[in-house]
Amino acid sequence: MKMKCTNLILFFVGYFAVLAYDDLSYNKDASQSFTPAGTTYVAENAVDGNTATCMRTDLVGGNSPYKSDWWKVDLGGVYNIYSVNILFKNYVGYESRQRGRFAGFSLYISNTGDRDSSSLCYKDGPELPPLNFSTECLVSGRFVIIYNERLDGVTYPAGYVVAYTELCEVTVNGCSKPRVYGINCDIPCPKNCRYEICHIKNGTCFGCVAGYLGTFCQTECQDKWYGFDCKQQCSGHCRDNGPCNKVNGQCDGGCAHGWYGLRCEHRCVGHCINIVLCNQVYGTCDGGCAAGWIGSFCEEDVIAYQLTICR
Nearest residue to 105 via CA among 95, 94, 115: 115
Assess contact for 219 and 228: CB atoms under 8 A: no
- Statement to judge: residues 21 and 167 lie in one domain: yes
Q: Are residues 112 and 59 part of one domain?
A: yes
Q: What is the CATH classification number for the domain harbouring 169?
A: 2.60.120.260
pLDDT at 148: 97
How does pLDDT run across 223-241, given as a tens digit for each residue?
999 999 999 999 999 999 9
Tell which residue, 184, 229, 163, has the closest CA to residue 16: 184
36 and 74 fall within a common domain: yes
**Residue 198 is assigned to a structural domain of this protein:** no
Q: How many domains does the chain fold into? A: 3
Q: Do residues 160 and 115 share a domain?
A: yes
Q: What is the pLDDT at residue 69?
A: 96
With a CB cutoff of 8 Å and minimum separation 6, the contacts of 145 are: 70, 71, 72, 107, 108, 109, 110, 113, 115, 118
3-class DSSP state of 168: strand
List, in sequence order, the alpha helices (H) in 20-132.
95-102
In this structure, is residue 196 part of a structural domain? no
Structural contact between residues 24 and 173, judged by C-beta atoms closer than 8 angstroms: yes
CA distance linking residue 258 with residue 239, whole number of Å? 10
**Mind listing the pLDDT tens digit for each residue in 249-258?**
999 999 998 8
Model confidence pLDDT, tens digit, residues 31-63: 999 888 888 999 999 999 999 999 999 999 999
Q: Print the domain residue range for 117.
A: 17-175
Domain contains 5:
no
- The answer to the question of residue 205 being in a domain is no
Residue 297: is its pLDDT beyond 50? Answer: yes
In a domain, 36, yes or no: yes
**131 lies in the same domain as 276:** no
Residue 73 and residue 148: Cα distance in Å, rounded? 16
Q: What is the mean pLDDT of the chain?
A: 89
Q: 63 and 142 share a domain?
A: yes
Q: Are residues 102 and 47 in the same domain?
A: yes
The answer to whether position 214 is within a domain reads no
pLDDT (tens digit, 9 = 90+) per residue, 73-106?
999 998 999 999 999 999 999 999 999 999 999 9
Q: How far apart are CA 168 and CA 88, in angstroms?
A: 6
Residues 168 and 38 in one domain: yes
**166 in any annotated domain:** yes
166 and 233 fall within a common domain: no
Based on the fold, state whether residues 262 and 278 are members of the same structural domain: no
Domain co-membership, 47 together with 147: yes
The pTM assigned to this predicted structure is: 0.72
Within a domain: 258: yes
Pairing, β 68-88 against β 132-136: antiparallel
Identify whether residues 155 and 255 lie together within a single domain.
no
